[in-house]
Structure 1
Amino acid sequence: MSEILVSFRDVTKSYDGRVPVVAALNLDVHRGEFLTLLGPSGSGKTTTLMMLAGFEDPSSGSIALEGTRIDTVPPHRRGIGVVFQNYALFPHMTVAQNLAFPLSIRRLPKAEIAARIARALEMVRLPAFGDRKPSQLSGGQQQRVALARALIFEPKLVLLDEPLGALDKQLREELQAEIRHIHARLGVTMVYVTHDQAEALTLSDRIAIFHEGRIQQIDTPEAVYERPANPFVAGFIGESNRLTVQVVDTTRLRLEDGSLLATLPHALPPGTAALVSIRPERVVIGAQGPGNAVVEEVVYLGDHCRLRLAHAGRADFIAKLPRQDAMAVPTPGTRITIGIPADAVTVFPAG
């Protein structure tokens, strides 16, 4: 079991004293891990990060760093690095002066400050940019400087609040790789907030999925995607087909159109309703002919085609056809046969 660096215990945050933004949160952050807080807007993820940083106070409960309570300690005394979406660089300072600032207030010797600035600029691949002002940098370069400033004083913990949200897709992916490599090289603990599922799956050791102020599931990226804990997680992470079914027996579920879907659900009584989640990429697309689905729409997405099908009493059943597949792409109106492997079906009790 890895060492626990941060502990939230029964932490609640409410701005009006009635509706909690974060409700009875219990969360441990392990030393050296990359933990992502993921959820829709208003789910409580950013408020959780801001309470850890010290910019918001819990309404109740406690937050500890290395076993010592910090929820009453001011932000500048917590020794935590923070990276924001808007960079938060001092516009009147050069890059080197921005990096020197957290070291100067800690009264490090000038020679040590200069050495750390040089190392930090090398780390984020900006060795020749020390004399530039933030206004002379691109958005990606400014975010690299903000990351270097958060790491330069060697904190135990770095918090990142949607740091790539303002960047275009290609630059986001480049900086995702850079953050991942820096984390692996330094081993510093990082807590990252995003609403981007792909980003969370790419970066994280673990993902905590928030909804209405509570963690719905916390686990590895593979586990939250392949084994979602509830319908919200199944619908929020990635894309899924959600169907209402009736339990026939311990091995069969009846779909809305009367067909049977073989699987092994949770121990649900025969005759009861259930909800199933099926990932589009797990749908097996068979031959054209007198099949069990009709192609309603085909969308070309480069590495795969997204098929919208009429199936199981619905007109919005989604399947993905990889482009390396030898099968010809069916056209709208074509009948095809699809299959769903038993292990591709996740079953939840209805309601």
Structure 2
Amino acid sequence: MTPKAEFRHVRKSFDGRMEVIPDLNLQIRQGEFLTLLGPSGSGKTTTLMLLAGFEIPTQGEILLDGKSLHRLPPYRRNLGMVFQNYALFPHMTVAQNLAFPLEVRRRSRAEIRRRTTRALEIVRLAGYGDRKPGQLSGGQQQRVALARALVFDPSLVLMDEPLGALDKQLREELQFEIRHIHRELGVTLVYVTHDQGEALTMSDRIAVFQGGRIRQLAAPEDLYERPADAFVAGFIGENNRLAGTVVAQDERECRVALADGTRLQAPALTQGGVGQRVVVSIRPERLRLLPPEGGYENRFQGRVEEIVFIGDHLRIRLKAFGSDSLIVKIPNDIERPAIAPGATIAFGWRRQDCRALLDDAP
């Protein structure tokens, strides 16, 4: 199947010397929700702007529906755009804002009315057509911006940090609404964010960017459970990082020696072998306090340094392996162990719940 959009060996430099995108190859599938995720300066927004036509590749080719976008201006690419600052016309009503892209495309008045009404229904703003943007809340304005991006049936919808200006509760509500709209309409959507939780919640696939390169491209669960390297593990969700060296390995597992002499068990490395410097990554929620004797290959003792109450769970900081920053998350329920700062407690995790990843630290 021909991808909806494709980057082929795309490079981008703004000054002719340093490349912010050194060599990008990426296929965007028809109908998928693809998120470009990464820290500031990682190249994700530049990638979006290249696809939109607001930036021109220094080298390489970008295709849409199998056709090159070379020299095709943004207004001829039939793309919907949603920005963080809404970009609505303040002097126009909501209905007029939605009608604008249809008027530019010379659609009939009857079609404009029909499409505008339908777009407002999709974003749950039916009856708001006569209001001005200034009369709406931030969340409502962003819904109008989304409706405007969808109203002309674009070939592709691009969204650049669209929820960044909203408060936490409203942001989470709109995450699910955007996801619902995507599933209902089946439109191909490319979404840029630096928020890992947002990416995990909304996406079919996530491309993790660093230094203008994709470190890993996978479904949210794969990224979280099977990160390709230490950078991805550290950037996607919270994790404990334990630096060590592989001292033994077979087809099923490897053994890692930490600096304090502790030895851990982890699944076998996909790259490297004995003598390889690695980071053992273990999620805080995969650690267990007072684990049973059987079934936990990694079982140790630690000192409780701090207990933080966070509503539905407790965040516990342990001193172990020569560090006092090992984090454990346990549910806040009646079965949680009774512990207090200063106590020594057994903790552990199963071999399959951690990953030994190549240490890419300089």
Output the TM-score relative to the length of structure 1. Answer: 0.96
Alpha carbons of structure 1 residues 205 and 332: separation in structure 2 relative to 1, 3 Å: same
Q: Which amino acid aligns with 2:40?
A: S
Equivalents in 2 of 1:118, 1:72: separation in Å? 35
Partner of 1:38: 37
Aligned counterpart in structure 2 of residue 279 of structure 1, from 283, 287, 292: 283
Matches within 5 A, 1:309-324: 309-324=318-333
In the alignment, is residue 258 of structure 1 matched against residue 267 of structure 2? no
In the alignment, is residue 247 of structure 1 matched against residue 230 of structure 2? no
Equivalents in 2 of 1:71, 1:324: separation in Å? 58
Alpha carbons of structure 1 residues 151 and 269: separation in structure 2 relative to 1, 3 Å: closer
Shift of 1:324: 2.7
Q: Secondary structure at the match of 1:90?
A: coil
Equivalents in 2 of 1:192, 1:104: separation in Å? 26
Alpha carbons of structure 1 residues 157 and 179: separation in structure 2 relative to 1, 3 Å: same
- Per mean C-alpha deviation after superposition, the further-off stretch among 188-197 and 325-334 is 325-334
Q: Work out whether residues 267 and 355 of structure 2, in 8 Å CA contact, stay in contact via their aligned partners in 1.
A: no
- 1:227-248, Cα deviation, whole Å (9 max, x unpaired): 1111110100001111112222
Shift of 1:329: 4.6
Shift of 1:56: 1.0
Matches within 5 A, 1:155-234: 155-234=154-233
Q: Which amino acid aligns with 2:325?
A: D
Q: Secondary structure at the match of 2:267?
A: coil
Partner of 1:346: 355
Shift of 1:258: 1.9
Output the TM-score relative to the length of structure 2. Answer: 0.93
Q: Work out whether residues 52 and 71 of structure 1, in 8 Å CA contact, stay in contact via their aligned partners in 2.
A: no
Partner of 1:101: 100
Alpha carbons of structure 1 residues 56 and 269: separation in structure 2 relative to 1, 3 Å: closer
- 1:92-112, Cα deviation, whole Å (9 max, x unpaired): 100000000000011111011
Q: Which amino acid aligns with 1:116?
A: R
RMSD across aligned C-alpha pairs, in angstroms? Answer: 1.5
- 1:274-321, Cα deviation, whole Å (9 max, x unpaired): 22111111111117xxx6101111111111111111111111111111
How many residue pairs get aligned? The number is: 348
Q: Work out whether residues 247 and 268 of structure 1, in 8 Å CA contact, stay in contact via their aligned partners in 2.
A: no
Equivalents in 2 of 1:304, 1:329: separation in Å? 14
Q: Which amino acid aligns with 1:281?
A: E
- Overall identity of the aligned pairs, in %: 59
Q: Work out whether residues 2 and 66 of structure 2, in 8 Å CA contact, stay in contact via their aligned partners in 1.
A: no
Equivalents in 2 of 1:259, 1:215: separation in Å? 34
Shift of 1:25: 0.4
Equivalents in 2 of 1:341, 1:312: separation in Å? 17
